[in-house]
Structure 1
Amino acid sequence: MLVFIIPLKSPQFSNSWERVTQLFERCIKSVCNQTSANFRVIVVCHEKPKIEFNHSHITYITVDFSPANETNPVAKGDTDKGRKILKGLIYARQFCPTHTMAVDADDCVSKKLAKFIQQHPDSDGWFINKGYKYQEGSKYIYIKRNNFYKMCGTCNITRYDLNYLPEAPEYNRGYGYYRYYIDHGKVRDILKNKAKAIKSLPFPGAVYILETGENLFDNSKRLRFSIFNRKLLNQSIRDEFGLYKLQQFS
Structure 2
Amino acid sequence: MSCMKRPYFKLKLWIEGELTKMNIKQQLNQVEKLVNGSCHESTVKEIEKQKPEIAFAISLKSKRVSRDWEKVQNNLSLTLKSILNNTDPNFIIIIAGHEKPNIEELNDKRVTWLSVTFPPPSNPRKATVDKRRKRMVIGAFLRRNGFSGYFMPLDADDWIHYRFVEYIRLLPISNTIILNKGFMVNVIKNEVWTQNQFYIYCGSSSLFYFSNRDFPKSTKKSHINKTDFKWVMKNHVKVPQYVKNHTMIDYPFVTYVLAHGENLSVIQGIRDNRTSAEHHNGVGEVLDDWFYRGFKIWDK
| Shorter-chain TM-score tier | 0.7 to 0.9
- Counterpart in the other structure of 1:43: 95
- 1:125 is aligned to 176
Partner of 2:108: 55
Alpha carbons of structure 1 residues 138 and 56: separation in structure 2 relative to 1, 3 Å = farther
Map Cα deviations across residues 178-214 of structure 1 (whole Å, 9 max, x no partner): 784251111221103xxxx211124112111112222
For residues 77-125 of structure 1, the C-alpha deviation after alignment (integer angstroms, 9 at most, x for no partner) is 0010001112112222426332011110011111222112322362223
Does structure 1 residue 30 correspond to structure 2 residue 78?
no
- Inter-CA distance 224–204: structure 2 relative to 1 (3 Å threshold): closer
The alignment yields a C-alpha RMSD, in angstroms, of: 2.8
Q: Count the aligned residue pairs.
A: 232
Q: What is the rounded CA distance, in whole Å, between the counterparts of 1:211 and 1:178 in structure 2?
A: 31
Distance 1:168 1:52 in 2: 30
Cα pair distance change 1:163/1:7, threshold 3 Å: farther
**Partners in 2 of 1:167 and 1:61 — Cα distance?**
16
- In structure 2, the partner of 1:155 is 205
Is the CA contact 1:103–1:153 (under 8 Å) kept in the aligned structure 2? Answer: yes
What is the CA-CA distance between 1:52 and the residue it aligns to?
Answer: 2.4
User: Alignment partner of 1:42: what SS?
Assistant: strand
TM-score (norm 1): 0.82
State the match for 1:79 in structure 2: 129
Retained in 1: the 8 A contact 2:192–2:277?
Answer: no
Which ranges in structure 1 are unaligned for 5 or more consecutive residues? 172-176, 246-250
Higher relative contact order (CA 8 A, sep 6+): 1
CA displacement 1:8-34 (0-9 Å, x = unmatched): 011122111111111111111112121
SS in 2 for 1:133: strand
Contact 1:237–1:243 (CA<8 Å) still a contact in 2?
A: no
| 1:207 paired to 2:255 | yes
Alignment partner, residue 287 of structure 2: 233
Larger Rg: 2
1:89 aligns with 2:139: yes
1:88 to 1:235, Cα distance in 2 relative to 1, 3 A: same
Q: Which whole-Å CA distance do the structure 2 matches of 1:64 and 1:85 have between them?
A: 14
Name the aligned partner's letter for residue 169 of structure 1. Answer: T
> Hey, what's the Cα distance between the residues in 2 that align with 1:104 and 1:113?
16
Q: Verify: 1:134 aligned to 2:185, yes or no.
A: yes
Instruction: Tell me if the contact between 2:57 and 2:152 (Cα under 8 Å) persists in the aligned partners.
Output: yes
Task: Report the Cα offset of residue 162 of structure 1.
Answer: 10
Check whether the contact 2:148–2:211 (CA below 8 A) recurs between aligned residues: no
Q: Mind listing any 5+ residue stretches in structure 2 that lack a counterpart? A: 1-52, 222-228
Aligned match of 1:105:
156
In 2, are the aligned partners of 1:82 and 1:178 still within 8 Å (CA)? no
Deviations 1:134-171 (A, max 9, x none): 12254431111x11111111111111249954444228
What is the aligned-residue identity percentage?
Answer: 28
